[in-house]
Amino acid sequence: MSAAPPSIGVNGRPVALEEVPGDERLLDTLRWRLGLRGTKEGCRTGECGACTVLVNGEGRLSCLALAHELEGTEVTTVEALHQDPVGRAVQEAFAEEAALQCGYCTPGFVVALTGLLRGDGPPRPTPELLAALGGNLCRCTGYASIARAVERARTRLR
C-alpha cells in the first residue's frame, strides 16, 4: 500500500505536490504551475504584502512559504474570493471606494482584509484593521481610499 502523494488544497481543489521541487515558494507554485496570477510578486522578501494568500483562513505571505511546508492545508487566492461572502464584500468595497490606482497591491490588500474580517469574536474597529494591514504597501494611492474601503467593508459585514 503506497502513501498518498503530498498535496495542498488551492481554492477548494487538491493540488499534488509530487512534481513541485522542495525549495519552490508557494508564490511560484500558484503563479507558474497553477496559472493563478492574481497573487502578485512584489519584493520577494515579505516586505510588501502583494503576495498575500489565506492559509486555512489566515493571511500568509506566499513569497516566504515553501509549497511543501503547507502540505495538508487549504490555500485561498484572490481568484476564489468572489465565492466567499466576506471576500465579495471586501472586493465590492474596494471597487466602490476606488481603492486602487495601478492595482498591483490590491489583491494582497483584499485577501489580507478578507482574512481579518472573517475572524471570530467582536468586530474589529477600523484603526485596528488598518494597523493589521500595515504590512501591505501601496505606492500609488496615499491610503485614504483604502481606509474608506476598509471602513465600508467592516460596516457592511457587521
Q: Where are the domains of the chain?
A: 7-77, 80-157
Q: What is the pLDDT of residue 82?
A: 96
Measured distance CA(68)–CA(134) in Å, rounded = 27
Q: What is the pLDDT of residue 1?
A: 55
* Listed residue (90, 86, 121, 124) closest to 107, CA to CA: 90
The CATH-assigned architecture of domain 7-77 is: Roll (3.10)
pLDDT by 10s per residue, the chain, length 158: 567 789 999 999 999 999 999 999 999 999 999 999 999 999 999 999 999 999 999 999 999 999 999 999 999 999 999 999 999 999 999 999 999 889 999 999 999 999 999 977 788 899 999 999 999 999 888 899 999 999 999 999 98
Q: Dihedral (C-alpha) 1, 6, 14, 63: value to the nearest 10 degrees?
A: 180
- Can you name the CATH fold of 80-157? DNA polymerase; domain 1 (1.10.150)
Measured distance CA(93)–CA(148) in Å, rounded = 8
For the entire predicted model, the pTM comes to 0.94
All 3 cell numbers of residue 138? 501601496
